[in-house]
Amino acid sequence: MRIPIVAGNWKMNTTIESAVGLVQEMKGELDKIPGIEKVLCPPFVSLSTVGNLIKGTSIELGAQNMYFEMEGAYTGEISPPMLKNLCQYIIIGHSERRIFFGETNEMVNKKLKAALKIGLIPILCVGENLKEKEAGKTEAVITNQVSAAMQEIASLQKTVIAYEPLWAIGSGKAASATQANTVLNLIRNIITKLYDEQTAQSIRLQYGGSVNSNNIGEFVEMPDIDGVLVGGASLKAAEFLSIVEQTSKIKQAK
C-alpha cells in the first residue's frame, strides 16, 4: 500500500506574514484529514516559522530547492544540513529551476544524492516541454530525465517522483488523467528496470500541473497516481483543503 501524498509548492509567493496567515487558515482542517501525507513547501525564509506553526500536527514541511554541496563558499545557496532539521521533504529538479536557473540533469542527480545522504525525502520533478510533446518525444525525455537523475544511486529510499509536463504548469491546461497515468506508469516501468519490481511498486508518484479542486478527482482515481504536486491552488486555503480531502476520500475508497 502506497500512502497518498499531496504537496503544496508555494514557489516564490508569500511573505513570512502571509505564510503565517495561510497556515493558520488551513492547519486545523488539514491536520484532521486521514490516510494521506500533507506537505507544505513555503519559501526558505518561512520554513522555520511554518515549521513551528505545524509542530504537533500531521502536516509536514518541504523546501523547494537546495544546493548539493554540504557547506562552503557558495553565496546565497542553502545546504542539505541547513534543511535537515527544518523539514522532511525537498523538491528537486522543478522545471522552473531547470528553465530559469540552468539546472541540468547532472545537477539534479547531485542534489538527489545529497538529499538521500542527509536523510531528506526528495520529490523529484520531471516533465517534457510542449515542443518535445508535439514531436512525440515524451517517453524519451522522461526516460532520460529519470535515468540521469538516478545515476549511481543504489537505493531510492522514500523518493517521490512528480510528473509535471511543462505545458501544464501554471497554464490552466492540465494533462488529462489518462495522459498523466500513462507517463507515471512509464516511470514505474523505468524504476523496475533501474531497480526492481518491489521498488517500482512502492515508490510514490505524483502528477503536477494546473491541479485544482475541480480536476483533482480524475487524477487520483488513476491507479498509478498516488497524489499531486500543487502550485497555484496551494496558495488558497479552501482549494488546497478540498484537493487533500478529495484525494484522501478517493484513495481510501480503493
Query: Which of the residues are catalytic?
Result: 94, 164
**65 is an interface residue for ligand PGA by CB under 6 A:** no
Cα 160 to the center of its chain, rounded Å: 7
Locate the DSSP E strands across 106-171.
121-126, 160-163
Task: Kindly write down the DSSP assignment for every residue of 81-99, as one continuous string.
Answer: HHHHTT-SEEEES-HHHHH
Residue keyed to cell 557547506: 71
CB of 72 to ligand PGA, least distance (A): 29
Q: State how far the Cα of 75 lies from the Cα of 197, in Å rounded to an integer.
A: 42
5 binds ligand PGA (CB under 6 A): no
Q: Which is nearer to ligand PGA, 175 or 200 (CB)?
A: 175
Query: How many of the other CB atoms lie within 10 Å of CB of 153?
Result: 15
Contacts of 242 (CB under 8 A, 6+ apart): 213, 216
Closest CB 168 distance from ligand PGA, rounded Å: 6
210 binds ligand PGA (CB under 6 A): yes
Among 138, 208, 222, 240, binds ligand PGA (CB under 6 A): 208
- Contact between 9 and ligand PGA (CB under 6 A)? yes
Residues with Cβ within 8 Å of 38's Cβ and at least 6 positions away in sequence, in order, are 5, 6, 7, 30, 58, 59, 60, 244
CA angle 205, 206, 210 (to 5 degrees): 165
Helix (H, G, I), strand (E, B) or coil at 188: helix
Binding region for ligand PGA (CB under 6 A) out of 49-57, 66-74, 208-216, 237-245: 208-216
Stretch that binds ligand PGA, among 77-85, 101-109, 194-202, 226-234 (CB under 6 A): 226-234
Distance, in Å, from the CA atom of 160 to the CA atom of 97, rounded to the nearest integer, reads 18
Please, what is the angle between helix 16-32 and helix 237-252, to 10°? 30
Residue 169 contacts ligand PGA per CB under 6 A: yes
Write out the binding residues for ligand PGA, residues 88-127 only, by CB under 6 A.
none
State which amino acid sits at residue 171: S
Distance of closest approach, residue 8 Cβ to ligand PGA, in angstroms? 9
Among 37, 60, 128, 164, binds ligand PGA (CB under 6 A): 164
The footprint of ligand PGA on residues 229-248 (CB under 6 A) is: 229-233
CB of 212 to ligand PGA, least distance (A): 8
Least Å distance, CB 98 to ligand PGA, is: 11
Among candidate residues 45, 93, 99, the one with its CA nearest the CA of residue 68: 93
Of 211, 216, 220, 241, the one binding ligand PGA by CB under 6 A: 211
- # residues near ligand PGA by CB under 6 A: 13
Catalog residues that contact ligand PGA under the rule CB under 6 A: 9, 164, 169-170, 208-211, 229-233
